[in-house]
Structure 1
Amino acid sequence: MNSIAVIWRQKNYLTALIVAAAAVLWLLSGLLRPAGDNASAVRGGDGPEVLPVTVRARRIEARPYTTLVNINAHTEANRSVRLRAELDGVITAVPVAEGRAVRQGEVICRLEAEDRPQRLERARSALRKAELDIAGARKLHKKGLLSETELAGQEASVASARAEYERARVEMENLQIRAPFAGVVNRRAVELGDFIRRGEECATLLDLDPVLVVGEVSEGVVGDLVPGRPAGAELHDRTRVEGRLRYVSRDAHETTRAYRVEVEVDNPKGQLRAGLSGRLALPTGEVRAHLINSSLLTLDDRGELGVRHLDRENRVLFSTVTLVGDGREGVWVTGLPERTTLITVGQEYVTPGQVVSVEFEDGQSGLPAPEPDGQAAIRPVAGDGEDRP
């Protein structure tokens, strides 16, 4: 029995060795097979060659795009005036309520006249008498009956009477504090019966047409701003307004080292108030940019933002881009050739250098558009740390 077991074990070892040798030979045969056999395997023997990856593409061309810088801003009145009394007196009328719009010249506050009308009448009579006296004195002077000194004294009396009359007349006019321009009475500082002294405030008047959208820009941006260019703003309630850049400060703020800018916005109905916060978009220049869908943006191995597109031979290229703006239709980017064949579907399945089959979107031919050599240098959009909306 022992000899039979030994023979059986030796037979099992021999079988295992034979199987192992066969496996090694089969593996070596794969390494030594000619390249033509591998190609046949890829083709599936004598079958047709496997087609390259198919992507969908669209031709796009660069268009002029106005670059913008966005800053925090707020609205201000075009003019804000504190109406002050020029006389001491008691307030006898306040015909305009707070918040009401007024016309230029409309009375805001009225003071008690006291004896000023009588003083005006007395000054008028004194001026009339002085004018009659000087007329008679000139006749006498022509006849040689009045000296030069006496004539000069009469002329001085006329001048004094005229000055008294003008003072009395101005005092009568100053009894009524009027609006110097059309606006809104934002605040009234006195009430009926209050005693107001000269220089004290009667009311605050705001001019809200136009209204100003005001902000500050850094020194890196201020040189690109040109007064008169169109500008826009989005207020806190999503209201969008359009206007023009009317003022760029020539002197930086002492603390922030930023420059004040003002955008003038028409406000004929007074719907915009002063003090509203928002974001101001100022034009800084114009570049050639492409409008693409934001979903086509991707990152390369170095983490740089870009898009995949094709050259004349339908070879995949990757170009880094710079975002210069966005909108409801997509994002605006620079860094691509003037004419670009952009991969719109399948970009995640291809790599740079790979040749692909292309299906163009509706309305575009199947031949790729020529691309110019090189790209124009695009200056990055100037900014002061603010992001775009």
Structure 2
Amino acid sequence: MKPSRLAAIALVVGGAAWIGSGVLGRDAATSRTANVETARTPAILPRFKVAALPVRTEMHQRRVVLQGRTEADKRVMAVARVSGVVLDLRVRRGSVVKAGDIVAVLSDEARESQVAQALARLEQRKAEAAARLRLIESGSYPAINKSALQAELRAAEAGLAQAQAEQKKGEITAPISGVVNEVPVEIGQALQVMMSGANVAEIIGLDPMLAVVEVAERQLAGVVVGGRAEVKLVTGERVAGRIRFVSKRASQGTRTYRVDVELPNADARIPDGVTAEVDLLLAPVPAARVPRSALTFSSEGRLGIRHVGADEKVVFTPVAIVEDVMQELWLSGLPDGARVIVQGQDFVKEGEAVEVLPAAAQG
């Protein structure tokens, strides 16, 4: 082969190699640039899926069930205010009496004679006053003594009234209407009156009857006078009543407050001192009903609910438990219409964007 032909072939091969090296270099550079751009662009991760349930805020009337007892509204002793022997005893245990009925009669102890004496003194004063007034009218007696005569007459009238009142004390009467629960005296027993009197009969007023419970201080805010209550007696009977009294002072031992529920008991069917289950209907408060499982804690340890905001991001709201009803809770503090996360709430955090799936409605 001629040298000139070999030189031409060498030039052709060299040119092709040069051109090829440029193309390969550009491809390698392009590949490296693409790899760098891919490394700089973050991967788009899928959002965490949660199940949410919309809840509504409404006025909810709370209920508090407490154990208590029945208690007579009134418990009074019929007492003797004067000394004497019991001559007549007109009641026994279980007797039904009305206010003013005679319970027992004591011996006279000269009280009747005192009345007779006071009556005689009054008649004497009346006769003296009549005679002296005639003398005053005739001018035979000083008119200045007229006021003294009137005063003596009024004093005699007062003495008679006092003697009659003292005689009346020999009849012991019932101070209230009710049932006689205890009679600690017998006929023929002598009663010696001390400062507080001598007990003759204990009378309890059964209408109305009270159901008494002790309410914890954290529940006291919803207990108001006039509020409704339902009482179940140990006998199985159910009675509706109303709150009549709420103590303003806590018990020193238990830090609870006494609450009296008034129950109608005209037929005296409810006895005093029986065990009762009292269901207090507290004042209504705004609250939302959510499943118990939705309750969670924030990273700071606060009790609350995670729900989804308008921007599909997780929001944590602290709440307070209004009422615990088995599988559900009534909570205060949630915004109306909040989409409460009921599944997955423990796997997301505040501010995180999530994908919301509908949850089964509450029953």
Short-chain TM bin: 0.5 to 0.7
Matching residue of 2:10 = none
Matching residue of 1:77 = 72
What TM-score do the two structures reach when normalised by structure 2? 0.64
Matching residue of 2:173 = 178
The 3 A distance-change label for structure 1 pair 195 and 234 is same
| Identical amino acids, percent of aligned pairs | 23
For the residue of structure 2 that corresponds to 1:133, the secondary structure is helix
One-letter amino acid of the structure 1 residue matched with residue 166 of structure 2: E
- Greater C-alpha radius of gyration: 2
The 3 A distance-change label for structure 1 pair 180 and 306 is same
One-letter amino acid of the structure 1 residue matched with residue 357 of structure 2: S
Matching residue of 1:230 = 227
Matching residue of 1:110 = 105
The 3 A distance-change label for structure 1 pair 362 and 126 is closer
Q: 1:282-305: CA deviations, max 9, x gaps?
A: 7886642112344x3454586765
What TM-score do the two structures reach when normalised by structure 1? 0.61
For the residue of structure 2 that corresponds to 1:339, the secondary structure is coil
Structure 1: any 5+ residue segments left out of the alignment?
A: 1-33, 40-49, 364-389
Structure 2: any 5+ residue segments left out of the alignment?
A: 1-37
Instruction: Tell me by how many angstroms 1:61 deviates.
Output: 0.8
The 3 A distance-change label for structure 1 pair 106 and 329 is farther
Instruction: Tell me by how many angstroms 1:214 deviates.
Output: 4.9
Describe how 1:301-380 pairs up with structure 2 within 5 A.
Answer: 306=304, 309-312=307-310, 321-327=319-325, 330-342=328-340, 347=343, 351-352=347-348, 353-358=353-358, 361=361
Matching residue of 1:89 = 84
Conserved? CA contact 1:300–1:306, under 8 Å: yes
Q: Distance in 2 between matches of 1:59 and 1:83?
A: 65
Matching residue of 2:202 = 204
One-letter amino acid of the structure 1 residue matched with residue 241 of structure 2: E
The 3 A distance-change label for structure 1 pair 94 and 341 is farther
For the residue of structure 1 that corresponds to 2:225, the secondary structure is coil
Q: 1:173-216: CA deviations, max 9, x gaps?
A: 22221122222322222122221222111122223433445566
Conserved? CA contact 2:68–2:213, under 8 Å: yes
The 3 A distance-change label for structure 1 pair 329 and 105 is farther
Conserved? CA contact 1:82–1:205, under 8 Å: yes
Q: 1:25-70: CA deviations, max 9, x gaps?
A: xxxxxxxxx99xxx9xxxxxxxxxx9x9695x65321112356888
Matching residue of 2:123 = 128
The 3 A distance-change label for structure 1 pair 286 and 362 is closer
For the residue of structure 2 that corresponds to 1:131, the secondary structure is helix
Describe how 1:114-263 pairs up with structure 2 within 5 A.
Answer: 115-117=110-112, 119-147=114-142, 154-155=149-150, 157-198=152-193, 199-214=197-212, 224=221, 228-230=225-227, 232=229, 237=234, 241-246=240-245, 248-249=247-248, 255-256=252-253, 261-263=258-260
Q: 1:127-148: CA deviations, max 9, x gaps?
A: 2343233123212212122235
One-letter amino acid of the structure 2 residue matched with residue 139 of structure 1: R
Q: How many residues align?
A: 311
Conserved? CA contact 2:74–2:205, under 8 Å: yes
One-letter amino acid of the structure 2 residue matched with residue 182 of structure 1: S
For the residue of structure 1 that corresponds to 2:355, the secondary structure is coil
Conserved? CA contact 1:91–1:192, under 8 Å: yes
Q: Distance in 1 between matches of 2:213 and 2:309?
A: 45
